[in-house]
Each structure stands twice: as structure tokens, then as C-alpha cells.
Amino acid sequence: MKFKKVLSVLVALGLVTVMAAGCSSSGGGSASGSDDKTIVVGASPTPHAEILKAAENVLKEKGYTLKITEFQDYVQPNMALENKELDANYFQHKPYLDEFNEKNGTKLVSAGAVHYEPLGLYAGKTKSLAELSDGATIAVPNDTTNEARALLLLEANGLIKLNPDAGLSATPKDITENPKNLNVQELEAAQLGRSLQDVDMAVINGNYALQADLKVTDALAKEEKDSEAAQTYANVVAVREGDENSDKTKALMEALKSDDVKKFIEDTYQGSVVSIF
């Protein structure tokens, strides 16, 4: 049995090695294995990959083939782009991209913003803000920029007060007033929807709310379309520095900002995702 287990592990590692080799960098401005008419884009499954699929026909009319690689986390799509395994990625907002570059020494830039996902406060065990009891637990994303954004939403709804100097770096340590003695629980963004039933409320990123079948119209509170957050946290297409004006990048951005894609966003997400073009 032990031999079989070891053999299985070695086979799995061998497969991983083959897969990694297939994605290795080949130099130049394009993703490894892609040609001048193939655009390889990394994306979160919802809504980013879905929006990209809506842009596929527009790109086809321009003579381009779109290949979408889906990622479940917020780290690997940036590393894959930096390592030239992708031509672009589409999953993040600018503050997160800037923070990622600073922490990882990467040189990724925004090619332009496409949409905005209102971050919402959703009911778990407690169904309304009025029913929120002393010592209740509210879960928030644990990555720096989204956590600050979540705390600012809680502040905007009178639940806490933050040190005004904390800004987009705010953490629970920056809470200066907490009249209900709320327990702010930090979780990975992808876990929030799955953990909603275990907490009183949770502040959830738009894409993960969609994956959890939550509608922004059901949120107890949300960031408004005309708010500063709508611009600050607009989701962007990221590319390597120097590729902002490449033919591939221009074609991708034109397709994503087309009338077809705008209509798809409006019809499909009904306010959970808002185009900003």
C-alpha cells in the first residue's frame, strides 16, 4: 500500500512538472505558447471569465483567438502574468495591484478599468442591522485593501469608527469606537460566502458573492455606484509594464469596452456588477 501511495505521489509530481513546463516563459511580450493572434488571459471564474467570454466574439471579428485561464485565488494570476504565462489578467482592482507589486517586486500595470463590483454586507445568523446584538461576529476579507474597504463600509453604516489616518490600510486595530463590541473576524475572501451561515454578517466581495448565489439587492448595505469606492475599486485588466499599448492589449480592451459586453453585464448581473465605461 505504501509503495502504491509513493508511486501515486511521484506520478502526480511528474504530471505537475509536465504542466509547469508547458507554461514556462519563452521570452518576448506574449504568453508562452501563444502567437500574435492568440490572447491568453487569466481571470476569476465569476464574473471576470464570464465577461471575457462575452468579449470573445468581438475579438474573433478582429482576428484574435481568446484563451481564458481561470484562477481561484488572488496571487497566482499575477505571478503567472509576471512569468509570461499570460498576456493579461482580469480579476483585481488597482489598490490590490499596487500593493501586490510593492510586496512582490512585480512590474504589472493597469491597461484600463472595466467594471465595479459593489462590496456588500450580507446577513448570516442575524437578518437585519437593527437585530445586531452586542458581541456579534462580522466576517471581513483578510487582504489589506479589501479589509479596509469592508471596515469603511461598516463605518459608513454607523457600526464602528476608524482612525481617520488609517485610510485604505485600515485593520481592526484602527477601530476607535465599537459600541456593539463587534467581533471582526478576518477570513480569506473566497471563504466568506461559505462561512456566512456561521457568522452574524459578512462583508463579501462582489465576485465571491455571486459565486455564493447572493444578490447585491439582498445586501443589508453596499457601496454605492456614485461613491469614491466605485472608482477606486474598479476592476482592471493588468498587463506587464511596457505592454499597455501593444496590439493585443488594445484589441482586448476595445472588446471588453464594447456595447455587446456592456449589455451582457447589465442583463446578466443586474447591479451586482456595474460597467464603468
- 149-169: per-residue pLDDT in tens? 899 999 999 999 999 999 878
Residues of the chain above pLDDT 70, percent: 88
Q: How high is the pLDDT of residue 13? A: 38
Distance between CA atoms of 52 and 36, rounded to whole angstroms?
Answer: 18
Q: How high is the pLDDT of residue 14? A: 41
Contacts of 274 (CB under 8 A, 6+ apart): 115, 116, 117, 118, 225, 230, 265
Distance between CA atoms of 151 and 161, rounded to whole angstroms?
Answer: 9
> Is the pLDDT confidence value at 27 over 50?
no
Distance between CA atoms of 126 and 131, rounded to whole angstroms?
Answer: 7
Contacts of 266 (CB under 8 A, 6+ apart): 275
The closest of 62, 142, 140, 143 to 100, measured between CA atoms, is 143
- 181-206: per-residue pLDDT in tens? 999 999 999 999 999 999 999 999 88
Domains, the chain, in order of start with CATH, read 14-117+232-275 (3.40.190.10), 120-223 (3.40.190.10)
Q: What is the mean pLDDT of residues 58-73?
A: 97
Let me know: does 38 contact 56? Beta carbons within 8 Å. Answer: no
- 93-144: per-residue pLDDT in tens? 998 999 999 999 999 999 999 999 889 999 999 999 999 999 999 999 998 8
Q: How high is the pLDDT of residue 24? A: 31
> Is the pLDDT confidence value at 5 over 80?
no
Q: What is the mean pLDDT of residues 21-48?
A: 73
Q: What is the mean pLDDT of residues 205-223?
A: 89
Residues of the chain above pLDDT 90, percent: 72
The closest of 26, 56, 89 to 264, measured between CA atoms, is 56
Phi, psi of 117 (to 5 degrees): -115, 110
